[in-house]
Chain A
């Protein structure tokens, strides 16, 4: 029954449209309707696309392209800066090293100068001291020779006396003088 009803509806639809059986595409009575609504649809789509959608998408794509280009340029820039910074760092390091060497050399020279001066001064003092000492030694030596003469005289006199002789002071002195000469 259901299919009969459907068939009846089908037949009725065909009759209403007066179409060739089986091909609604060739039912010219609906062409005006389709063409009118197609024109409306196309105009609406065209307005939507040309006024809103396409400019917006184009802008987004351009913006993205711009962002990518800018980012790449910025990266390139930063890379150049990094290289520059590294070069500056290396240069500063080399400078610092040279400066340090210069300071070290200067300091060394200064210290050497001070040292030389101190050594010279010390040498001078030492030679002065040595001269003084030599003088003192000479004095002491002279004193000692005197003492030796006196002691020798005394000793000789005592020896002579002890051996039972009479000690002639002049002879002894002459003898001591004779002996201590050489």
Chain B
């Protein structure tokens, strides 16, 4: 579903570009403008320049802090609203790590919780109109996926030594097939970080671009603008769902990869 959505949005963007480019003075839709990285002060962007990326990541950090630290500051036995949500988030990810990666995966819980909280907060902050969505950038999700990929690979070799290569040697298959399967397994292993990162960035970017395209239609259609506005409402509801689901999917795949590293038997 994610990929279809991604390509559909991409097609929509391209088509809208083709159709509306000549008539740009009348109907100016720039659905990708919302993804521009811009310096907060001045024009030049180097690696340390405070940009809108900095701002919205800082807000995501602040949101994580507000929910998990300030929310739990009362340490109440009978929790209030914020503390309930904080405990829910904790229990949700903790149980996921324990169930999927196993008991010995629990020591990676803080890392996985960090990934989940960052992605879910960035996704939801990105749903605020006019905001900048840091997780819509492949640079961000690629780093997140690469972190998972390298962590999992290193953990796999440290825990199992050369036995980690057993992940690629399907011992339950007929001997003649095993080398072929090994190649396929190897390719799929290296494709993991690619799909892991593009899935998240693609879903978020596509949804936001679609919202902007419909918003452009609404501006152009005059009295019929209620149609795109209705569509925006529907897509926005879907995006709320996607914001959580993509964070969930990213996290649970991380747990699955971690399980492969800890227990590489097929």
A binding-site residues for B, Cβ under 8 Å: 3-4, 6-7, 10, 13, 16-17, 21-27, 29-42, 44-46, 48-50, 52-54, 56-61, 63-64, 67
Contacts and interface: CB of A to CB of B under 8 A. Distances in A.
Contacts of A57: 68, 72, 86-87, 90
Contacts of A52: 69
Given A3-B25, A57-B90, A34 B68 contact: no
Nearest to B13: A22
Smallest CB-CB A-B distances: 3 pairs: A53-B68, A32-B47, A30-B37
Given A7-B28, A46-B111, A48-B65, A37 B51 contact: yes
Interface in B131-167: 134, 136-140, 143-144, 147
Nearest to B32: A22
A17 B113 contact: no
Interface string B6-50: 000000011001000000110010101101111000010111110
Given A3-B28, A63-B77, A38 B143 contact: yes
Chain B interface mostly helix, strand, loop or mixed? Answer: helix
Interface residues of B, number: 59
Chain A interface mostly helix, strand, loop or mixed? Answer: helix
Contacts, number: 147
Nearest to B117: A45
B69 A25 contact: no
A36 B137 CA distance: 14
B242 interface: no
A163 to B, nearest CB: 137
A53 B70 CA distance: 9
B51 to A, nearest CB: 6
A30 B75 CA distance: 42
B212 to A, nearest CB: 12
A16 to B, nearest CB: 6
Contacts of B79: 60
A45 B136 contact: no
B233 interface: no
A154 to B, nearest CB: 126
A51 to B, nearest CB: 10
Contacts of A40: 57
